Amino acid sequence: MANEVCFRTLHLPEPGSLATYRSIGGYETLRRIVTEKVAATEIINQVKNSGLRGRGGAGFPTGLKWSFMPRYFDGTKYLVCNTDEGEPGTFKDRDIIRYNPHQLIEGMCIAAYTLGARVGYNYIHGEIWEDYVSFEKALDDARAAGFLGENLFGTSFCFDLYAHHGYGAYICGEETALIESIEGKKGQPRFKPPFPASFGVFGKPTNVNNTESYASIPYIIEHGGQAFADLGVHNSGGTKLFSVSGHVERPGNFEVNMGTPFAELLGLAGGVWRGRQLKAVIPGGASTPVMPAAVVMAANMDYDSLSKAGSSLGAGSVIVMDESTCMVQTLKRLSYFFFEESCGQCTPCREGTGWLYRVVKRIVDGQGRMEDLDLLTDVSHNISGRTICALGDAAATPVLSFIKHFRPEFEYYIQHGRSMVTGK
Amino acid sequence: MLSQESLAKIDRELNKYPEDHRQSAVMSSLRIAQDELGWLSKETIAFVADYLRIPAIAALEVATFYNMYDLAPVGKYKITVCTNISCMLRESDRIVEHLEHSLGIHMGETTADGKVTLKEGECMGCCGGAPLFHINNKEMCEHLTPEKVDQILEGLK
C-alpha cells in the first residue's frame, strides 16, 4: 500500500484544500481529543507506541522528545515545525505543505494541545515562495473554520500558528539554528544543553519536529500508535516519504511502508533512466554515506537495514547515480555545498570544509597528489565530532564514504588528471 | 523609503511575534524591502532596522548571512540556477551553458541592458523537478530543457 498517511489526500481533487481534508475526516481527531479532554499522557503514549522517529533525518523517537517538554510552565510554550529542507536530495516536506497542509496543521494542533503550547511557527525554506504563500492561505482557512485561534471548540484550548519564511541558509534546518533564525538572527546553532524543550524560541520551552513527523500525528491518534507501527517494521514504525532524485525515469516523492526493499522503491521511480546500470545511491540526503549498487540493491528502506548496510536513512532523500557518474566530480560539488553553507561558527568546520573542497577541486583540476586521499581522510576526521552541530560531520561523511567505496576512481584521477568514467 | 504597502506588509509580519520580539520580523522585512527596491543598500537595511527598532548591525548581520538577499544591484530578473547534486546529475550544466550562451553573460553577471542577472544557487529543496531555477526568489521553474528555457526567457519583458 502507498500514500496511507501523509499523502492520503493525494488521489483526491484539490488534495490541499480544507474541504478535501474535511471529507476524509480531517480535524475530527483534534475535535475529539480537545472536547473529550483526552489526557496528554495518553496521547504521548500513543506517539511512543507508534514507533514514529524524527523524519527530518536524526530519527529521534518523537514520543520521547515530546515527553521532555515541561508539563507546568508559567509562561508561553512554543511549537516549531521544521519545513526548512535544503539538504541536497530532500524535497518531501514541500509536497506536504503543497498537497496536504491541513494534516500538518492538525498534527501541530494536536501537539500543541498535548504539550500545552500556545503559539507555533512553521519555518518554511526560503526558495519555495509559492508554497509559503499557499501554506499561509491554508492557515487562514483553518483559522476561519475555527481550528486555530482562541477557545477552540468552545473549550479553553487556544493555539495560534504562523508561517516564518527562511531566506537561503541550509544550516537553519538544524533545530537550534532555526530557533535563532525565528528570533531574527544569523542561523548559528546553539550549544546543547540546554535543549529547546527547556530553552527554545525566545528562551521558552519549545518542541521542534519535522513536517512529516507532525503530519503523521493525526493518523497515529486516530488509528492508535500500534496501527502506525504495524505499517512499518521493527524499530521503524509507519510509512515514510522517500524523495527520489537523480538518474531515474520518474523522480518524485513516494510514500511507502518502512522496510520496503530499495529495489521496489527504485521501480516506483521508473528505474534507472536511459536503460543504464545503477552505480551508487545516497539513501538519506547528502549527509548520509554513499552506497555502491550491489549493497543498496540488497537493502531495505528502514533505519536498521540501512544502518547495517553502512549508511543511514536520514530524511529518506534517495539520490540515484547511474554508471556514467564520475564520483570525483560529484564529490567536488557536494564538498562545495558544505563549504558554502558552513555557518562559520566552529573552526574545524569553517576551515575544514574549505580544505575538503579545495583538495577535491585540485584533484579535479588535474593537480592532485596521491597523498591527498590521506589528507582528505585526515581533515574529515578532524572535523567529525569537533563542532557544535552536525554540519561538520555531514561534510565529512561524503568525503569518507566516496573515497572508501570508489578509491580507484580517485587514484585514476590523480594519476591521469582526468576522470576514469567520463574521460574528461 | 518604503511604500505604505510595504510597511503594511511588514506590520502584518510583526503581528506574528510577541511585541517585545520585533527582531523576529527582520527576515521578512528585508525581503519585503528587497521586493520593492530591487536590492538592499546599507541605507535600506538601516531603514528596516529603524522601523523594527533594532540596531542596524542586527539587520546587516541577517542581510549578509542569508544568501537570497542581494547586497548589490541586480537585473530586473535574477535567475538563480541550482547546480547541486540532484540538478547536476540531471545535467544542470547544460542549462547553465544555454543561459550563458543565450544571454551572452557568465554566472554572476548582468546583461548590459540591466534586464537579467545569472546566479548560481544552492539546493532549493525541489530536487524532484531538477534541473531548475527560480526567478526573483519567487517563481520556481522546474524540469528545464533548453527549449523550455528559451520560452521562459522570451516571456521576461
The three grid cell numbers given for residue A388, joined into one nine-digit string:
557544535
What percent of chain A lies above the pLDDT cut of 90?
99
Residue count (chain B): 157
User: Half-sphere exposure of A316 toward its Cβ, with a 13 Å CA cutoff?
Assistant: 32
Best of A245, A276, A326, A327 to substitute, by most chain B Cβ atoms within 10 angstroms, is: A245
Residue range A131-141: mean pLDDT, rounded = 98
User: Could you tell me how many CB contacts below 8 A there are between chain A and chain B?
Assistant: 158
User: Which residues, other chains included, contact A377 with Cβ-Cβ below 8 Å and sequence gap of 6+?
Assistant: A399, A400, A403
CA distance B80 to chain A (A): 10
Task: Tell whether the model's pLDDT for residue A331 goes beyond 90.
Answer: yes
Interchain CB contact of A85 with B (< 8 Å): yes
Q: Could you tell me the pLDDT band of residue A48, with boundaries at 50, 70 and 90?
A: very high
Specify which residues A162 forms β-bridges with: A121
B77-155 to CATH, choices 3.30.930.10, 3.50.50.60, 3.40.30.10, 3.90.1640.30:
3.40.30.10
Question: What size, in residues, is chain A?
Answer: 424
Q: What is the mean pLDDT of chain A?
A: 97
* Residue in chain A lying closest to B26 (CA): A184
Cα dihedral across residues B104, B108, B110, B116: positive or negative: positive
- Count CB neighbours of A389 within 10 A: 22
Whether residue A127 has pLDDT greater than 80: yes
Write the pLDDT tens digit of every residue in A396-421: 999 999 999 999 999 999 999 999 99
The answer to whether residue A89 neighbours chain B at the CB level (below 8 Å) is yes
- Do strands A291-292 and A278-282 pair parallel, antiparallel, or not at all (unpaired)? antiparallel
Residue of A nearest to B12 (CA): A162
pLDDT 10s digits, A219-274? 999 999 999 999 999 999 999 999 999 999 999 999 999 999 999 999 999 999 99
- Given the DSSP bridges, would you call strands B133-135 and B139-141 parallel, antiparallel or unpaired? antiparallel
- In A160-297, which residue ranges form alpha helices assigned H by DSSP? 175-182, 211-223, 225-231, 262-268, 293-297
Please tell me which residue of chain B has the smallest CA distance to A244. B128
Contact flag A125-B124 (C-beta cutoff 8 Å): yes
Q: Is A337 exposed, middle or buried (0-12, 13-18, 19+ CB in 10 A)?
A: buried
Q: Is the pTM of this model over 0.80?
A: yes
Contact assessment for residue A276 and residue A421, using Cβ atoms and an 8 Å cutoff: no
Q: Distance (Å, rounded) from C-alpha A89 to C-alpha B84?
A: 9
What mean pLDDT comes out for the span B71-78?
Answer: 97
Are the beta carbons of A247 and B90 separated by less than 8 Å? yes
Residue at A272: amino acid letter: V
Q: Which residues in chain B are closer than 8 Å to A317, comparing Cβ atoms?
A: 127
User: With an 8 Å Cβ cutoff, is A167 touching chain B?
Assistant: yes
Are β-strands A252-257 and A260-261 bridged in parallel, bridged antiparallel, or unpaired? unpaired
Q: CA B124, CA B82: separation in Å to the nearest integer?
A: 7
Cell of A213: 513527523
At residue A3, does pLDDT exceed 90?
no
**Domain residue extents for chain B:** 4-65, 77-155
Contact between A88 and B85 using a beta-carbon 8 Å cutoff: yes
Round to whole Å and give the CA distance between A351 and A366: 23
Eight-state DSSP code of residue A123: E
Q: According to the model, what pLDDT value does residue A101 have?
A: 98
Record: contact A89-B86, CB cut-off 8 A: yes
Tell me which residue in A93, A185, A245 faces B128 most closely, judged by beta carbons.
Answer: A245
ipTM of the complex in this document? 0.97
* Smallest CA–CA distance from B23 into chain A, residue: A184
> Distance, in angstroms, between B84 CA and closest chain A CA?
7
C-beta separation of A379 from A395 below 8 A: no
Give B51's contacts in chain A (Cβ within 8 Å): none
What letter does residue B2 receive in the DSSP assignment? -
Mutate to test the interface with A, among B19, B21, B65, B92 (most CBs of A within 10 A): B65
A233, β-bridge pairs:
A236
Same topology between domain B4-65 and domain B77-155 = no
CA A178 – CA A169 distance, rounded (Å): 10
Chain A nearest-CA distance from B49, in A, is 11
pLDDT number for residue A2: 77
Give me the CATH topology for the region B4-65.
Arc Repressor Mutant, subunit A (1.10.10)
CB atoms within 10 A of CB B76: 15
What percentage of chain A has pLDDT greater than the value 70?
100
Interface of A with B in 248-277 (CB under 8 A): 251-253
Encoded amino acid at A190, one letter: R
Give pLDDT tens digits for B6-65. Answer: 999 999 999 999 999 999 999 999 999 999 999 999 999 999 999 999 999 999 999 999
> How do residues A138-158 score in pLDDT, each as one tens digit?
999 999 999 999 999 999 999
pLDDT at A319 over 80: yes
Task: Identify the sign of the CA torsion A203, A209, A215, A216.
Answer: negative
Measured between beta carbons, which residues in chain B are less than 8 angstroms from residue A166?
Answer: 27, 66
- Cis, peptide link before residue A70, omega less than 30° from 0: no
A162 has a chain B CB within 8 A of its CB: yes
Contact B140 A184 (CB under 8 A): no
DSSP 8-state class, residue A287: T
Reply yes or no on whether the pLDDT at A1 is more than 70. no
Where helices occur in A119-278 by DSSP H, the ranges are 129-144, 175-182, 211-223, 225-231, 262-268
Bridge partners (DSSP) of residue A69 are: none
Whole-angstrom distance, CA of residue A263 vs CA of residue A32? 41
Per-position DSSP letters for A118-130, written without gaps between them: -EEEEEE-TT-HH
Buried residues in A286-315 as b, exposed as e (16+ CB within 10 A)? bbbbbbbbebbeebbbbbebbeebbbbbbb
Task: Give the DSSP letter string of A318-356.
Answer: EEEEETT--HHHHHHHHHHHHHHH--S-SHHHHHHHHHH
Q: Do B89 and A325 touch (CB under 8 A)?
A: yes
The cell for A253 is 516523492
- Name the one residue in this structure whose C-alpha cell is 521503524: A236
Q: Are A402 and A282 a contacting pair, CB within 8 Å?
A: no
Question: What phi and psi values does residue A149 have, to the nearest 5 degrees?
Answer: 125, -150
Record: contact B24-A164, CB cut-off 8 A = yes
Per the prediction, chain B carries an average pLDDT of 97
